[in-house]
Amino acid sequence: MPNAVPNSLRVAVAGVTGYAGAELARLLLDHPRFRTTAPLFLGRPESEGGAAIALTSLHPQLSGLPHADEAQVLPFDWNQLQREGVELIFLATPHEQSREWSQQALAHNIRVIDLSAAWRLDTPAYRAIYKLEDTPATDALQREAVYGSPELHAAAIREARLVANPGCYATSVILGLSPLVRANLADLSAGIIADCKSGVSGAGKAPTPNTHFMYAADNLSAYAIFGHRHTGELYEQLQLQPEQIQFTPHLLPIPRGILSTMYVRLTEPTTQAAIQNLYDEFYAHAPLVRVRRSPMTPQIQHVVRTAFCDIGFQLSPDGKRLVLISCLDNLLKGAASQAVENMNLMAGWDQAEGLR
C-alpha cells in the first residue's frame, strides 16, 4: 500500500520580521493543516541578543488569525527545534545566514525551503554576485537543491530536502516565457526584452535612499540595468545566454506587485489560437497560474494580495511578434505563497491548499 499522506506537518519559520516573513506567517497561521498545531516562529539566537516577543507586536495585522495572538517569536535554537519535532523549516533570512542554517537543518534531518538566494543558482559566476563562498560541502548541497518553481519542477520538489524559492522578478519572467522558449518558438537570435516593474516592497523592509517616499512617490525609475541579481535565474531556468535576453527592472511608486512585459520575435508566423493553446496546455495543471484570453492582458490590481500569477499576450497582425504580460504579487507568488506551494508539494498535499 502507498504511504499515507500526513494530515499535518511540524514547521518553523526563521526570519519573520520582514514583509515576506509576515506574509508567510499569515498564510501558515490560516492554513487548514495547522489549525491544531501552529508553526514555530524564530528570531535571532539568544547569543545574538534574541529574545521572545509576541508575534502580533511585530505584525499587529495578524491578530485574530488562529494561534496568532498567543504566538511568540522565540530565539533561534536547534535544541528547541528538535524538542518541538520540527520537520520542515522556512528560512526567510539573508542568504549568508540561510547558507549556514540550511546545512545545519539538513544535518538535523529537517527539510528546508529557503526564500533567499542562497541555493537558487548553479553557476558559480552567478552565485558570486551574492558573494556566496563555495566549499565542497556547499557544492554538494547546491547539486541537491531544487529550484522551487512548482509549475516547472513539481516532481523534484515533492522529493526534495532543500528547495530554493525563486526570486520575484525571476518568477514572473520565467513563467511568462517558459512555454514559448521550451516550444522553440522564440527567435533567440533577435533577443528577448523583459521590461519589468515592481512595487517598493520588493526592495525589502530596510529603507534606502531609492525606496524612500520622497524618491519613489510620483516617480518611475529603472535600476540595475545590466546587473540585477535575478538575471542569473533567467539564464539558468530558461537556458538562455546573456545576449539572448535583456532584463530591465523598474521601481513603481506602489507598495507591491510586479508587471513584466516581454517582447519576443517568433521563429515563424503563428496564430493567436496557437499561442493560446500553447499556454493553456502548458499550465493546464498549474492551479495558481491563470492564462488570460487574448486580447485581455493582466494588471497588477488583478493579482495583488493573491497567490496567482496571471499571464496574457497579444500577437501582432503579421503573426511574427508577440507581447507577453506576466503579473504577480511579489510578496506572495514572488515569495511567501510560492514557498507554501512548495511546502504543500513536499508534504504530499494539494499544491494550492490554503492559498485560494
- Catalytically active residues, by annotation: 168
Which contacts of 5-10 are long-range, i.e. CB under 8 A and separated by 24 or more positions?
5/347, 5/348, 5/349, 6/347, 6/348, 7/33, 8/33, 8/34, 8/36, 8/37, 9/33, 9/87, 9/88, 9/343, 9/347, 10/37, 10/40, 10/84, 10/85, 10/86, 10/87, 10/88
Enclosing H/E stretch for 233 = helix 231-238
In angstroms, rounded to a whole number, what is the distance separating the alpha carbons of residues 165 and 173? Answer: 15
In angstroms, rounded to a whole number, what is the distance separating the alpha carbons of residues 19 and 206? Answer: 10
Whether omega for the bond prior to residue 295 falls within 30 degrees of 0, making it cis, is yes
- The alpha-carbon radius of gyration of the chain (Å, integer) is 20
> Within 13 Å of residue 94, how many CA atoms lie on the same side as its CB?
8
In angstroms, rounded to a whole number, what is the distance separating the alpha carbons of residues 91 and 237? Answer: 22
